Structure 1
């Protein structure tokens, strides 16, 4: 027998955006159901450069101090709060604050169907869910984004190696809380300590066809990065050498074109998207995860306003269909408010990130000259400027 579930709010995806949105709603007294396709919480992943704007969002959600205690503040960034947070710890911190039963595992969304003023969600296991609000936080290949009319994301032409080095007990001095940055002709690399024994590092470059085949092998990628960073200090090369193959992941960098972000349906009716489902972007100014947390805070506030005011503002003399219609209109308006709040912020961040990536890795001589002379101060200015954003309070 097919199971049918009825929910007010369904969030697809138990990543950072989905869990943060659910937690924001919970803090505001509104329950939700989070659908996760995996059998358990996906805690794999690496480091997230978490800037001031993200910490403001994490504080609103009530998990900022939990994460601060386990991660170093990078002193090379001056008075700005910047930490490299392990993704698994952020996901766990968000999930642990949710009520039991909020996350439904092994629940892969395969289709969305209109049903009056609700949406019917069809899951791979045959379950159907009827919901008044559908929020897509289902990543770069989002089913919800596709339903809204977004096209497949675009390839930037670049790949990124992400890795996490776990230093052993023989590394007695640990690491200094500094962001170490290296770049050369056609590539860029960075090393950020998460804590005294864990360093996240990345390497971005424009690959040849041979490189793309090599990207399938973590061991080969490790040697490739070492060859590119042959002039780097010995302690940097040592970090790469100590990185285990299972802690190295390589993938193409993808993004959503600015014209889609400007003109696309971030929301439509009672459906919207947040996080990577909304704005996958290159990591060149380290704002993708930060913007996902901003999305979550803004979206939870807009949705909670609808449901917390539902009883007092809807005319209960109306029949059931009229009540549903009035609630639908309020949901539609609330999601449009969220979309309008986030659209131009995301266009700005996404475009800046894309342009910075091309500038940093340009292999023309005059571009390399400008980069070598001005890049450090320019990147610092851009990162500080884009992190100067307050998502608001509850």
Structure 2
């Protein structure tokens, strides 16, 4: 049976960033990834707000990524109800906001890791811990297993590590999202802005990544079907948006088929985050495994990047990178580091999750009374709607 000091489960954005943050602090880790290769094909794009760029700066990859996407200057909301197009808000954005291709972010993080850090084809089946053992046994569906002193779950919203920690199940919003990328070989004419179109309780977002590539999404009431065939996804979306402007329909018609996906959006309830146990001994979770949330603030990815900076820093502060003393601090030191990490992150992710929860319920309801209630809650609890971008996770 293999043996390792720190095992990270999942080689998505959070898992790769976690491995890189630990590497920069002199802590060796292995990343166990269920797929047979890097997951840089599926998924479309991810918005990174100023707080996320602060974290990427600490990881040392921000400058390369800045060259892959234009800086967004504002947010615009366009109402199409009543058969007319009307700009109803125009919000200039302070700080750095860009929309990155998920592939660019994944590839950049992976390239910054030491060779061999990621072990592919290792889908976790279970984790067990002996009552008197300082190690955890990780068993994979291929029959292999390893023993790890420290386990960090970055395995998404359906996390096996979260289940091990007895976290309550995630829930689904009354919305589903279609996402895609559209390439304009001769360039597009869209401004560097996040444009959101609303009509009949359907929301279409459009965000340029660069002068040729555009990311778009469509939020609608949840359909019990989750289509997997890209052509079915495209045609059903076009039917839904039959009375939208022609430029929107053309954008969807010309979508890169491999980028198309439809998902029911999940979240961990804010009250569960307030009370949940996010570490047990030398096991913890980060990113979506800890606090999966709706995309309505564009903070899911950035919050996960904040997690890895804070967690790697707290582990380093307790001397876990001090070679010879590592065996002495691997249990007590890690437990203290994980407790500090959870204490630092809990209220931050509770506030983010609460704001996204209210927005998701607002967008997902057809009740006028509920809409008024949710709007009042947002005004009362979050008077400055973009204050979440001011957060600084600190130095690595």
TM-score, length-normalised on structure 1? 0.87
Deviation of 1:332 (Å): 0.5
C-alpha separation in 1, matches of 2:141 and 2:319 = 29
Distance 1:292 1:347 in 2: 13
Alpha-carbon deviation of 1:312? Answer: 7.6
Give runs of aligned pairs for residues 66-85 of structure 1, distance below 5 A.
66-76=64-74, 77-85=92-100
Match of 1:319 in 2: none
**2:77 corresponding residue in structure 1:** none
- Does residue 22 (structure 1) correspond to residue 19 (structure 2)? The answer is yes
Aligned twin of 2:185: 168
- Secondary structure in 2 matching 1:278: helix
| 1:367, distance to aligned residue in structure 2 (A) | 6.4
Aligned 8 A contact 2:125 2:141 in 1? yes
Change (3 A) 1:196 1:340: same
Q: Is the 8 A contact 1:45 1:87 kept in 2?
A: yes
1:179 offset after TM fit, Å? 1.0
**CA–CA distance in 2 between the matches of 1:368 and 1:259?**
21
Q: What whole-Å deviation, never above 9, does each CA across 1:112-161 have from its counterpart, x for those lacking one? A: 12141111211222322121110000111111111010133112121111
Alpha-carbon distance between aligned partners in 2 of 1:7 and 1:203, rounded to the nearest angstrom: 43
Q: What is aligned with 1:136?
A: 153
Whether the 8 Å CA contact 1:22–1:300 is kept in 2: the answer is no
Q: Deviations along 1:226-267, whole A, 9 cap, x unmatched?
A: 344445443222211211443221111111122221111111
Against the structure 1 CA distance between its residues 358 and 179, is the aligned structure 2 distance closer, same or farther, given a 3 Å change threshold?
same
Aligned counterpart for 1:391 among listed residues 390, 393, 396: 393
1:334 paired with 2:337, answer: yes
2:287 maps to 1:292: no
Cα distance in 2 for partners of 1:307, 1:36 equals 28
Q: CA deviation at 1:269?
A: 0.4
RMSD, matched Cα: 2.8
Q: 2:79 is matched with which residue?
A: none
C-alpha contact (below 8 Å) 2:320/2:330 kept by paired residues: no
1:13 matched to which residue of 2? Answer: 10
Distance 1:326 1:57 in 2: 26
Give the match for residue 276 of structure 1: 288
Aligned to 1:131, the other structure's residue is in SS state: strand
Q: Give the helix-richer structure, 1 or 2.
A: 1
Are residues 368 and 12 of structure 1, via their aligned partners in 2, closer, same or farther at CA, if it must alter by over 3 Å?
A: closer
Corresponding residue of 1:126: 143
CA offset at residue 15 of structure 1? 0.5
Question: Alignment partner of 2:192: what SS?
Answer: coil
Residue 125 of structure 1: SS of its match in structure 2? coil
What do the CA deviations read for 1:190-240 (whole angstroms, capped 9, x no partner)? 110111111111111213xxx433745543443443344445443222211
Unaligned ranges ≥5, structure 1: 315-323
Query: Does residue 107 of structure 1 match 2:104?
Result: no
Match of 2:279 in 1: 267
Q: How does 1:142-153 map to 2 (within 5 A)?
A: 142-153=159-170
| Aligned-residue offset at 1:295 | 0.7
Aligned to 2:218: 203
Change over 3 Å in CA distance of 1:224–1:269 after alignment to 2: same
Q: Hey, what does 2:102 align to over in structure 1?
A: 87
1:145-195 CA deviation, whole Å, 9 max, x = no partner?
A: 1101013311212111111112233xx445431111112332222110111
Of the three residues 34, 37, 60, the one matched with 1:37 is 34
Q: Is the 8 A contact 2:173 2:364 kept in 1?
A: no
- What is the rounded CA distance, in whole Å, between the counterparts of 2:31 and 2:253 in structure 1? 39
Alpha-carbon spacing, 1:265–1:365, altered in 2? closer, same or farther (3 Å): closer
Name stretches of at least 5 consecutive residues in structure 2 with no aligned partner.
75-91
| 8 A contact 2:45–2:215 mirrored in 1 | yes
Which residue among 159, 173, 177 is the counterpart of 1:156?
173
Structure 2 distance, partners of 1:81, 1:228, is 33
Q: Secondary structure at the match of 1:111?
A: strand
Give yes or no for the alignment of 1:304 onto 2:311.
Answer: no
